[in-house]
Amino acid sequence: MLNEIKLNMNEMPYPPPKEIIEAAQKGLSNLNRYTNPKELELLREFLADYSDVSKRHIILSTGSDFLLREIIHVFSKGRRVIMVNPSFFPTVQCAKEFATKLIKIQLRPSEFNLDADIITNETNEPSLVIVDNPNNPTGKILIDREMAEAILENKDVLLVVDEAYYEFSGATFADMVEKHPNLSVVRTLDKAFGLAGARIGYLIAGENFLDAFSTFFTFLPQSSLYAAIEAMRDPSYIKKNIELTIKERERVSKELEKIGFQVYPSTTNFLLIKTNIPDIARELKDREILVFDISNQWLPGYIRVSIGTPKENNIFLSNIKEIHKVHAWRGHKP
Amino acid sequence: MEPLAKNYVGREYSMKKIGLIVNPIAGMGGSVGLKGTDGEIYKKALRLGAKAVTPKRTKELLSYIKSRKEISLVVAPGKMGETYVRKFDIAFKLIGQTPKETSAEDTKRIIGKMLNGGIELLVFVGGDGTARDVYDAVDSKIPVVAVPSGVKIFSSVFAVSARAAAEMVDAFIEGTDLTEEEVLDIDENAFRNNRLASKLYGYLIVPNVKKLLQAGKEASSIDKSSVDSKNEIARYIVKHMDKETLYLLGPGTTLKAIANDMGLPKTLLGVDAIYDNRLVGIDLNEKGILKLLKKYKSKKIMVTPIGGNGFIFGRGSKQFTPEVIRIIGRENIILVGTYGKISKLECLRVDTGNFEIDKLLSGYIRVVVGEKEEMVMEVRC
C-alpha cells in the first residue's frame, strides 16, 4: 500500500461501518453468479425512499459518471451541450468527444456566479444543459430552484443536475423531477456514503429520460450491491462523517487563510484554493500529498483539496506552511 | 580564444549545444514590493534590501535536468551563468563578458555571440522584460526555454517553474516538436499602479510541452497539442467563411493558421485582409483598413485574445481603432483561440480608448475554441 495522503479525489476518508464491509464480503461469496434482479429492485426501492421519489424514476449504474456519459451519448444528438467551465472533468471530456456542439460558460473568480440570462440566451436552440451543483471544483451552488424552473420552462431543453455532493450541500432538485419531465438528477454513493470503491451511482430520471433508459439494465457487482443495500438500510451513519468533514473543512479553510491563502466558501467535502506559488501541487506530491491541480483545465494558480481525516489535514497544513516559507523569500505571496 | 572549462574537454562530440543566460536582477523587485526591475528600479530594490532570486531558480533548473550528460552549455561568465553552472557536472564553455552592472544590452549582445557559436537551444532565466530582450536577439532563429524568475510573469512563453523548464530541456533533447508562444510587453510603471497594461510583443519558439508552459496548458495529456488545436480551429473557420465578405485578420498564430489553411501568407503581428480566398491587404494600418471597409459591403473582423490578460482590442491590435470597430459592428466580430489559452482567462478585455465602443463590446461573447466547441466569455472594459 502507498503512504500517499490522497486529497485529490474528494473521497470520504472514513471507512463505512463494519456491517457494510461484511455485506460486501458476503457479496463476494456469490462471485460466480450475476446479481439477483430482486436485490437490484430492493436497492432501487431504498434509493427511491431516500430521495423521496417513486421507484420508476430510479436508474442504477456503476458510478454516476457512467450515467452522465450515457446521457451525453443519447441526448446530445440534435442538441447542443451546455456546461460550465470548470466542471467535473470526465463529463467534460465525454462531451468534448461526443457532443455535436459544446458550449462552455466560463466561471470567473471570485464569485463564480452563473448568470441566469446566459443560460436563457444559450438555450434558444434544443439543448442539453449539464450542471454540477454544487460545482466541482469551486464548491459553489450554481443554480437555485428559481433558475432551474426558468430553464425547465423551455421544453426544448433537457436539464441534468449532478448532485454528487448533495449530502454535504443539502441542495437538491430531486423533488422537482416528477413535475418536470425534462429534468434529471444524478447522484452517487461514492462520496458521503464512503463507498467510492463500490462505484454505485443512480439517476433520478424525469419522464423524458425514462424511455431512453428503459432498456438500460445494469448488473452491479455483487459486493457493491450488497454494500449499497446495507448502507441504504440505515443511512444514518453518514451524518457523523459529514459533520466531521464540514467541521474539518472550516478548520482547514481558516488555517489556510491565516497563512494568507485565498480559500473560497465550499458546500462540499473539498476546498478551492488560490495560490501564487508555482507548481504547488507538484511540491505537495513530492511530499506524498496528492491534491488536484486545476490549472490544467482552468485558470492558473488554483488547486482543489479534499478534506481528509484530522490527522491527514494536519499533515497537509504543516507541509503547505513549509512550502509557503520556502517561497516567501522569493516574493511569492501564498 | 574563449576559455574552455575543465569538465568540457572531450565531451563536446554529439552533445547538444545549449545557451544559458541568466538575468541576475530579474525578480528582485518582488520581495520589496516594486513589481519588476525594469530601468533604474532595480537599484531602488537593492537599497530596500532585495535579494537576488535568479541564483536559486538557476540552480533548481540545473539540478532537475536529467539529460546533463547529453548537453554542453554555452554560458556568460560570472553571475550571468558561469557561477551556477560550475557547481554541477555539466560540460560548459564560456562566451562573452559580463560587466559589473548588467543591462538588457548585455543580454542581447551575449545571445548574439551564442547564436554565432551555433547553439541549438537557448535557456534563459528572467521575467517578461528578459523575454523581450531574448525575442529581440533570437526572434525565431532557434527555440528557447524560459525559466520564470519574477513575481508576476505574464508571457505564455515561460515554463510554470524551474523544474518544468528542466523537463522542457529534456523534452528538447529527446526531440519533441516545437510551437510558438507569446512574449508580452508589460508596462511596469502601469503595473506598479495596479494597472495591467500589456501588448503582444512577439512570439518565441518553445518545445511543445503544453502542460509545462505558464499560460498554454491544455486540459489533459489526451488533449490536442496547441498546433493541432489551431489547425482544427482554422479548418472550422475556413469551412464556414462567407463568400463576398471582407475578413480582417488580426495578429497571432491562430489567425496565421487560418490564413495558412487557405494557402495564404499572414503577417504574425499585423492585420491582413482576405476576400473570397484572396489576400487584399497586408499589414494594414487604420487608413488602409478604412479604405477597404468603404470598398466592401459585407465585412468581419477575426481576432484572438492576448494570452494571460485577455485583451481583444486596445492592445496588440491598435489598427482596429474605435472607428473601425464601429463600422464593423459587434455582431461581425469573430473570436478564436485555443482552449488552452482561453480557459486560462478570467474574462476578455477591451481598452480602445473610446468609452462608447468599449461599452458596446462589453457583455458575454462566444469564442471558437475548437471545431465543435465554443466558450462563453465575459468582455469587460
pLDDT digits (tens, 9 = 90+) for A190-218: 999 999 999 999 999 999 999 998 887 78
Instruction: To the nearest 10°, report the CA torsion of A24, A27, A31, A36.
Output: -130
Say if residue A159 is in the same domain as residue A211. Answer: yes
Task: Catalogue the E-assigned strands of B319-372.
Answer: 333-336, 348-350, 363-370
**Predicted pLDDT of residue B49:** 61
Q: Which domain holds residue A84?
A: 18-233
Residues on chain A touching B159 (C-beta within 8 angstroms): none
As a whole number, mean pLDDT of residues A78-92 equals: 95
Least confident of A58-62, A85-89, B187-191, B206-210: B187-191
Residue A304 — pLDDT band, cuts 50, 70, 90? very high
Residue B37 in grid coordinates:
526591475
The mean of the pLDDT values for chain A is: 94
Question: Which CATH class for the B226-380 domain?
Answer: alpha beta
As a whole number, mean pLDDT of residues A317-333 equals: 82
pLDDT digits (tens, 9 = 90+) for B29-66: 544 445 555 556 666 666 666 666 788 889 989 999 99
**Predicted pLDDT of residue B353:** 81
Say if residue A169 is in the same domain as residue A93. Answer: yes
CA dist., res. B254 & res. B203, Å (int): 12
Residue A90 in grid coordinates:
470526465
In terms of pLDDT, which residue wins out, A188 or B189?
Answer: A188
Tell me how crowded residue A96 is: count the other CB atoms within 10 A of its CB.
Answer: 20
Say if residue A252 is in the same domain as residue A178. Answer: no
Say if residue A62 is in the same domain as residue A160. Answer: yes
CA dist., res. A162 & res. B38, Å (int): 49
The residue count of chain A comes to 334
State the count of interchain CB pairs (< 8 A) between A and B: 97
- Give the list of residues 6+ apart from residue B160 with CB closer than 8 angstroms, or none: A278, A279, A295, A300, B148, B212, B213, B214, B217
Calculate what percentage of chain A has a pLDDT beyond 70: 98
**Predicted pLDDT of residue B361:** 96
Nearest-CB residue to B211 (from A86, A104, A296): A296
Above 80 in pLDDT, residue A152?
yes
Which strands form B71-75's sheet, in the order they lie side by side? B91-94, B71-75, B16-22, B121-126, B144-148
Tell me, what amino acid is at B214? Q
Residues on chain B bordering chain A, Cβ-to-Cβ distance under 8 angstroms: 27, 29-32, 51, 53, 56, 148, 151, 160-161, 163-164, 211, 214-215, 217-220, 222, 342-347, 364, 366, 370, 372-378
In a domain, A333, yes or no: no
Say if residue A276 is in the same domain as residue A185. Answer: no
Q: Do A103 and B31 touch (CB under 8 A)?
A: no
What DSSP string runs through A185-205?
A: EEEESSSTTS-TTT--EEEEE
- d(CA B3, nearest CA chain A) in Å: 33
Domain boundary among A201, A233, A265: A233
The mean of the pLDDT values for chain B is: 84
Tell me yes or no: is domain B6-212 CATH 1.10.760.
Answer: no
As a whole number, mean pLDDT of residues B111-132 equals: 94
Looking up residue A248, the CATH number of its domain turns out to be: 3.90.1150.10
Q: Name the phi and psi angles at B248, rounded to 5.
A: -100, 115
- d(CA B9, nearest CA chain A) in Å: 36
In terms of pLDDT, which residue wins out, B186 or A85?
Answer: A85
CA dist., res. B261 & res. A253, Å (int): 50
Above 80 in pLDDT, residue B316?
no
Domain boundaries, chain B: 6-212, 226-380
Residue bearing cell 463576398:
B244
Q: Do B31 and A99 touch (CB under 8 A)?
A: no
Q: Does A330 touch chain B (CB under 8 A)?
A: yes
In a domain, A244, yes or no: yes
Q: Do B163 and A282 touch (CB under 8 A)?
A: yes
- d(CA A329, nearest CA chain B) in Å: 7
pLDDT digits (tens, 9 = 90+) for A115-127: 988 998 899 999 9
As a whole number, mean pLDDT of residues B260-266 equals: 96
CA dist., res. B234 & res. B228, Å (int): 10
Say if residue A73 is in the same domain as residue A215. Answer: yes
Residues on chain A touching B364 (C-beta within 8 angstroms): 115, 118, 121
**Predicted pLDDT of residue B6:** 42
**Predicted pLDDT of residue B210:** 67
Q: Are B18 and B71 in contact (CB under 8 A)?
A: yes
Above 60 in pLDDT, residue B221?
no
Above 90 in pLDDT, residue A20?
yes
Domain boundary among A206, A233, A260: A233
Say if residue A141 is in the same domain as residue A284. Answer: no
**Predicted pLDDT of residue B212:** 74
As a whole number, mean pLDDT of residues B239-265 equals: 95
Residue of chain A with shortest Cα separation from B377: A106
Say if residue A183 is in the same domain as residue A249. Answer: no
- Among A275, A282, A330, A332, which would you mutate to test the B interface (most chain B Cβ atoms within 10 Å of its Cβ)? A330
Nearest-CB residue to A103 (from B151, B342, B376): B376
Q: Are A187 and A164 in contact (CB under 8 A)?
A: yes
- Angle, in degrees to the nearest 10, between helices B226-239 and B253-261: 50
Above 60 in pLDDT, residue B310?
yes
Residue A6 — pLDDT band, cuts 50, 70, 90? very high
pLDDT digits (tens, 9 = 90+) for B355-367: 899 999 999 999 9
**Predicted pLDDT of residue B9:** 44
Nearest-CB residue to A109 (from B161, B342, B346): B346
Nearest-CB residue to B343 (from A102, A121, A297): A297
Q: Do A298 and B53 touch (CB under 8 A)?
A: no
**Predicted pLDDT of residue B32:** 46
As a whole number, mean pLDDT of residues B80-90 equals: 92
- d(CA A89, nearest CA chain B) in Å: 9
Domain boundary among A233, A251, A270: A233
Say if residue A265 is in the same domain as residue A212. Answer: no
Residue A219 — pLDDT band, cuts 50, 70, 90? confident
**Predicted pLDDT of residue A61:** 96
Above 50 in pLDDT, residue B129?
yes
- d(CA B348, nearest CA chain A) in Å: 11
In a domain, A334, yes or no: no
Looking up residue A48, the CATH number of its domain turns out to be: 3.40.640.10
Say if residue A269 is in the same domain as residue A145. Answer: no
In a domain, A55, yes or no: yes
Say if residue A302 is in the same domain as residue A253. Answer: yes
Residues on chain B touching A115 (C-beta within 8 angstroms): 364
pLDDT digits (tens, 9 = 90+) for A246-258: 999 999 999 999 9
Q: Does A120 touch chain B (CB under 8 A)?
A: no
List A275's β-bridge partners, or say none: none
Above 50 in pLDDT, residue B219?
no
Q: Do B151 and A331 touch (CB under 8 A)?
A: yes
